[in-house]
Amino acid sequence: METKSLKKVVSNFTINDRIAKVYTTIVDLANIQPYFNEFMTGMEFQKGTDTFELDNEFTMMWLYSTKIKFECINVIDMEFFKKITWRITSSDYNLTFENSFSFYDNTIGGSTLFVWELICSNEVFLSNQKVLDLFECIKKNALKKWKEALEKSSKDKIQYESIMISCPMKSIWKILTNWKILHKIVPFFADEIEYTGDPLQIGTVMKMSSQSKNAEIIMEVNKVTTTNPSEWEYEMQLKESQPKMPKYNIKFTVIEVNSEYTFVIFQHIYKEYIKNETLESLGKDKQKILNELKRQIKKLK
């Protein structure tokens, strides 16, 4: 959504990632230079070494030897709201204006509202259609590249939940490394679970299917580590899924606290882009599984 006045142009965008990552990606203007080779020819720092620290100054060189100077004049860095403003001057055009980026954390949905403001005291400047068209072109290119950068950095994203369970480590290990047993104790996604071999053997394939959801997941055991007597790891990787899902690994880590207590970590490690709202939903499901596992083990004692 975009609003315009004679002194201000404001554009709002929703970006499907958390505020901290969106902020650090966007405010580093040094990273945008490769996106605008058709407009920009270079960047020089007069004060500081980055574009996002308060009072830092730098110059962007554009075509036709045009130089535009940036001065970082305001930075607000809160957990749920962030804002940065640069004063921008061009001696070539005798022009001064402000460029502000504001970021609002939308915790429900795992997204960030990004507000881009261009403010200028020269009413003629912002009422010039050529200027507005150039801003629109830069904005579209920048947003496209920023989103690509965010998606690329979202690979290998890890979501985990953990819990302390009153049970010996070896007993928990037997349950978590054989999902036929786990499913009897904590019913979850699948109606049926099948293995092609020993669940503790690397290369063994596990198939989970659900007729009610018309879904199937095929995992392969790719890591079993028991060399450390007090910390064992078990990992499976996604081979196939119907409907298609982003590639991920599932990893269990069990840590012996003492002879009676075990600390359990349940991780999803995504190898492809995954939305934050999906990770949040996944976290809630894992919490239910781990809490139910703890409750059922307590009943079995």
DSSP state at residue 143 = H
Query: Quick one: angle between helices 276-300 and 169-176, nearest 10?
Result: 130
**Per-residue model confidence as pLDDT tens digits over 164-173:** 999 999 999 9
Domain spans of the chain? Answer: 2-153, 157-300
d(CA 242, CA 269): 19
pLDDT in tens, the chain (301 residues): 444 444 778 888 888 888 988 999 899 988 766 666 666 778 899 999 999 999 999 998 876 667 889 999 999 999 899 999 999 988 777 778 899 999 999 877 678 899 999 888 666 566 667 667 767 777 777 788 887 777 766 555 788 899 999 999 999 999 999 998 998 888 876 788 999 999 999 999 999 988 777 889 999 999 999 999 999 999 999 999 888 888 899 999 999 999 899 999 999 998 877 777 788 888 888 999 999 999 999 887 6
- Tell which residue, 215, 226, 163, has the closest CA to residue 188: 215
Q: Distance (Å, rounded) from C-alpha 87 to C-alpha 83?
A: 14
From the list 236, 265, 269, 235, the residue with the least C-alpha distance to 253 is 265
* Domain spanning 157-300: CATH 3.40.50.150: no
On the question of a common fold for 2-153 and 157-300, the answer reads: yes
Q: What is the largest CA-CA distance in the chain?
A: 80
| pTM for the whole structure | 0.58
| CATH class assigned to 2-153 | alpha beta
Residues 41-65: tens digit of each pLDDT = 788 999 999 999 999 999 988 766 6
